[in-house]
Chain A
Amino acid sequence: MDKPRPPIPFASAPLPVRLVLGFTLLAFCLWLPAFAALFR
């Protein structure tokens, strides 16, 4: 039998926690490089 895909870390955390974590990650990993590209 195929093993199910491992769950995403924090996927079962409450919604506010997920929102804060997700937006923080995106701000750091997505927005920051784009911003750095603008000002380098």
Chain B
Amino acid sequence: MASPQDWEDRKRAWKDYKRGWKAQRRGERREERIERPGPIFGWRVWLLPLFLWPLAFDIPIEILRGNPSQLVGGILGVALAWMGAARMARGGPGDLRGGAILMGVAAGLTAGLAAKIFPPIAVAMGFGTFFGVRLLTADMAAYEPPPQAPPPPAPTPTPEAASLVGPRAQIARIRAAAPPLPHAPLLLEAVSAMQGVVDDLAARPAQLHEARRFLAVHLDGLVRIVERLEAGAEPPETLPQLLRDLTASAHRLRGELRQVESQALDIQVKVLSDRLRQEGL
């Protein structure tokens, strides 16, 4: 036998769960609303459930009289007709037909339960409502979502950046091919150093012309070496030294590029301080 405390805990857990679920549904509905701009078919669709206006008076009367089956029939009729109209108003593919079916079911239930009409005739009235709704709404084209705005064009690379595309591809190629080759660590070290140069150049494209020879000769040479090694060539004894030299030269080039920047900054600082001094500040 569960203790009252136990029941309390369970009740609290269930309430927490329900609250979480509601919050989740609310979020989903909000997203849906954002995705789909409101109803698009207005009065032509919302007019249809208004045919059931007598039920609005009938439902309170049935509550007072205490006729459960007629009350259920009335409520279901109104609710399903409203759902059908909402579905048609959404206007997605198949929604017009689905909404008409809901309206037909609503009419059948109203006739059969609320009005206690002979059941086969109630079913026939359901079909009649379905056809009536289709006749009135079928010509409304299925809603087509407005065409999406074309995505913003990809930023066209500047000529400087574009000229780095080839070296980057070469570096990626060497990186991918190096691991199984002989002297792989040295190859990877060299290619990392060259990657550093290319990254520096991407940040300072003004210095690209100074590094063009490096990119053309060193990187191309390294790609050719990798191709030969891939083809199964025996690496000569001088290869490790060459790779070390390539790494060192890449590091040196980076240093030089940075030095050029530093000199340019020095000059800027000097010019500006001279100007300030001339102006008597």
Residues in A lying within 8 Å of B, measured CB to CB: 8-11, 15, 18-19, 21-38, 40
Residues in B lying within 8 Å of A, measured CB to CB: 48, 51-55, 57-58, 61, 70, 73-74, 77, 81, 103, 106-107, 110-111, 114-117, 122, 124-129, 131-136, 138-139
Distance to closest chain B CB from A26 (angstroms):
4
Q: A8-B134, A11-B134, A30-B132 are in contact. Are A38 and B110 (CB under 8 A)?
A: no
Q: Are B134 and A33 within 8 A (Cβ)? A: no
Q: Are A25 and B135 within 8 A (Cβ)? A: yes
What residues on B are CB-neighbors of A8 within 8 Å?
A: 131, 134-135, 138
Inter-chain CA distance A29–B77, complex, in Å, is 12
Q: Are A30 and B135 within 8 A (Cβ)? A: no
Q: Are A22 and B70 within 8 A (Cβ)? A: no
What residues on A are CB-neighbors of B48 within 8 Å?
A: 26, 30
What residues on A are CB-neighbors of B73 within 8 Å?
A: 37
Distance to closest chain A CB from B138 (angstroms):
5
Q: Are B128 and A29 within 8 A (Cβ)? A: yes
Among B110, B128, B132, the most chain A Cβ lie within 10 Å of the Cβ of B132
Q: Are A19 and B51 within 8 A (Cβ)? A: no
Distance to closest chain B CB from A10 (angstroms):
6
Q: Are B77 and A34 within 8 A (Cβ)? A: yes
Inter-chain CA distance A24–B110, complex, in Å, is 18
Q: Are A29 and B135 within 8 A (Cβ)? A: no
Least CB separation from B81: chain A residue: A30
Inter-chain CA distance A11–B55, complex, in Å, is 30
Q: Pick the 5 closest A-B CB pairs, nearest first.
A: A25-B132, A29-B128, A33-B111, A22-B135, A37-B114
Distance to closest chain B CB from A27 (angstroms):
7
Inter-chain CA distance A40–B70, complex, in Å, is 10
